[in-house]
Structure 1
Amino acid sequence: MKKHFLITAGPTREAIDPVRYLTNRSSGKMGYALAGAAAHEGHRVTLISGPCDLDVPEGVDFLPVESAKEMYDAVEHYISKTDIAIFAAAVADYRPASVPEQKIKKEADSLTLELVKNPDILGSARKKFAFTGTLVGFAAETENALTNARSKLVRKHCDLIVANDVSRSDIGFDSSENEVTLVYPDHELKLPKENKYQLALDIIEKSLEINALRQ
């Protein structure tokens, strides 16, 4: 049976002033690979993406966003219509508390930015959006990857967390390859280092297996 996937991808940009922003190193490659893999397998895909220099996979419903708040609003709108939600985007945890209308001039020797917390998209899926489908999150970690991923799985009521060590230069951000561990509630499954499209096919397959068990 074909399913409807919601997939988030890429970084977000949080404005500092009209010409500057805070962002991160996410290229969006993993999220776009997931969207392409799901579409290739015949599933309907809604891809909500932050700014990326990537081609949108064929057959995908594409919604571009910029900030974490825009991504939050888009997910809130679309998630109830989907069966499986995979949150692969690297969403900024914080944003500037205020954004001036004009460019900040270089005057003082130092500048202090006050940051406030962004809404938690993955953490809102169950509690605020009342999503009852299969929920998959990503944990991009630089230390204690599996411990942090398992904590995230429990705190955010996920069915699966995809954990990867982004401190390694050969995988993760900007790379076409990745090596991940799938963290389930009762076990873990390490996937070998592969190109991101092949890993995406594996993650889509595992997500469908979980979804079938929920029926």
Structure 2
Amino acid sequence: MAGAALAGLRIVVSAGPTYEDIDPVRFIGNRSSGKMGFAIAAAAARRGADVVLVAGPVALPTPDGVHRVDVRSAAQMHDAVFAQLPADIYIAAAAVADFTPRQVAPGKIKKRDGEDGLTLELVRTRDILAEVAVDPRRPRLLVGFAAETGDVETYARGKLAKKKLDLIAANRVGVEGSGFESDDNALAVYWNGGERALGPAPKTELAERLLDLVAERLRA
């Protein structure tokens, strides 16, 4: 059975958004709800895996049988993921910010008379998935996610190759009834030499089908 293939394995799942603080009041974030990553973590635990869920700031209960590590920023998520290595599988379902403010203001930034805008200097965050891929403790299977608004396959396969992943699950966002914040989704999963469409379906069902595919690729 596909489920039995994951029993006893250590699986790290990252889920949700990251919030990059501007000042003590404001932040840069995204619309990720964490539902897909949490569903994957729950499904993996039901299959007998030892699951660690690194969760960004979301309002979701911890799945049964899952060890949860809460983080806020991309830097915190980076450190939390690397603290859980080595692992057999890493599933990077989080929507990690690509940029963060260079400096966080110590107090609330105030509007000033005569100013008609505010300029923020942003810097790149560390690429967690790419760093895990070249780490000596690289998991046996590395699964990425790609949220795209167009040309999904091209961007997803580019990320698959560039980051040296084993699988990438891509979905189109900005479409009603799927993607961020929705309970449903549709995934196109790519690997070197293959692809499979999953859904549209509830994210809980997609999590099970994605883990079936993960188990298949482990055997391959």
TM-score of the superposed pair, with normalisation by structure 2:
0.94
Deviation at 1:191, TM superposition (A): 1.4
Q: Where does the alignment leave 5 or more consecutive residues of structure 1 unmatched? A: none
Q: 8 Å contact 1:145–1:164 — kept in the other structure?
A: yes
Structure 2 CA distance for aligned equivalents of residues 62 and 100 of structure 1: 30
Structure 1 CA distance for aligned equivalents of residues 201 and 167 of structure 2: 19
Aligned to 1:133: 140
Q: Provide the aligned length of Structure 1 versus Structure 2.
A: 212
Matched, 1:56 2:59: no
Quick one: percent identity of the two aligned structures? 44
Aligned to 1:45: 51
Aligned AA (1:146): E
After the TM superposition, which residues 72-151 of structure 1 pair with which residues of structure 2 at under 5 Å, given as runs?
72-80=78-86, 82-107=87-112, 108-128=115-135, 130-151=137-158
Matched, 1:34 2:40: yes
Deviation at 1:150, TM superposition (A): 0.3
Aligned to 2:77: 71
Matched, 1:204 2:219: no
Q: Where does the alignment leave 5 or more consecutive residues of structure 2 unmatched? A: none
Structure 1 residue ranges (4+ consecutive) displaced by more than 2 angstroms after TM superposition: none
RMSD between aligned residues: 1.1
Aligned AA (1:28): G
Deviation at 1:205, TM superposition (A): 1.5
Structure 2 CA distance for aligned equivalents of residues 129 and 79 of structure 1: 10
Q: 8 Å contact 2:78–2:128 — kept in the other structure?
A: yes
Aligned AA (1:51): P
Deviation at 1:129, TM superposition (A): 5.5
Which segment drifts farther, 121-130 or 8-17? Answer: 121-130
Deviation at 1:128, TM superposition (A): 3.6
Deviation at 1:167, TM superposition (A): 2.1
Q: 8 Å contact 1:76–1:129 — kept in the other structure?
A: no
